[in-house]
Amino acid sequence: MDDVRRRLDQDLNTAASRLRQLGWAVAVDGLSGAIGENCPFADELDGIQASESREIGFATRELLLERVNRLSVALDRLDEGQYGGCVECGEPISPARLRAVPEVQACVRCQDRLERLGPSRSWTRAMSSDDGQSE
Ligand SMILES: [Zn+2]
């Protein structure tokens, strides 16, 4: 579980610092290139960076803000020993899913259901595809 905490911390710091940069100067070109290089999770960020280069700005900031929030919640849940359980049904979330999205709070089935309830809940899909940008 220490690995998880480290990863959540790291992701949180990365997301928060990017958010700060984007917050002050949204239209900074080349920002995405400066970030991925030293980041151990660069492959995971590739999708975000690809869309950033086309459409850096509000959507990215929203995405990062959501992620920061989720990561903070995940760290809280880790402290409480709740981490890794689905907030909806209480079933354990699969380790593969947690590795892909460490801040995830719902299992695949529940996430799927939540996403159908509204676009604002579709953050996990936005992290892994371009679908979140289309609104
Ligand atoms: Zn569930």
Q: How high is the pLDDT of residue 104?
A: 92
Helix (H) or strand (E) holding 57: none
Structural domain count of the chain: 1
Q: What range defines the domain where residue 115 resides?
A: 2-133
Average pLDDT, the chain: 74
What digits encode the pLDDT tens for the residues 51-82? Answer: 545 456 677 888 888 899 999 999 999 999 99
Which residues have CB less than 5 Å away from ligand 1 (the ion)? 86, 88-89, 107, 110
> What CATH number does residue 45 fall under?
1.20.120.910
Q: How far is CA 67 from CA 14, 16, 74, 85, 91, in A?
A: 10, 9, 10, 18, 22
31 CA to centre of ligand 1 in angstroms: 36
For residues 103 and 71, is the Cβ–Cβ distance under 8 A? yes
DSSP of 98-120, one letter per residue? Answer: HHHSTT--S-HHHHHHHHHH-GG
Please give the distance, rounded to the nearest whole angstrom, from the Cα atom of residue 110 to the centre of ligand 1: 4
What pTM was estimated for this model as a whole?
0.59
| Per-residue model confidence as pLDDT tens digits over 24-57 | 443 334 444 444 444 444 555 555 555 545 456 6
Which residues, in sequence order, are bridge partners of residue 85?
92
What are the CA-CA distances from residue 19 to residues 42, 56, 60, 100 (Å)? 16, 12, 9, 21
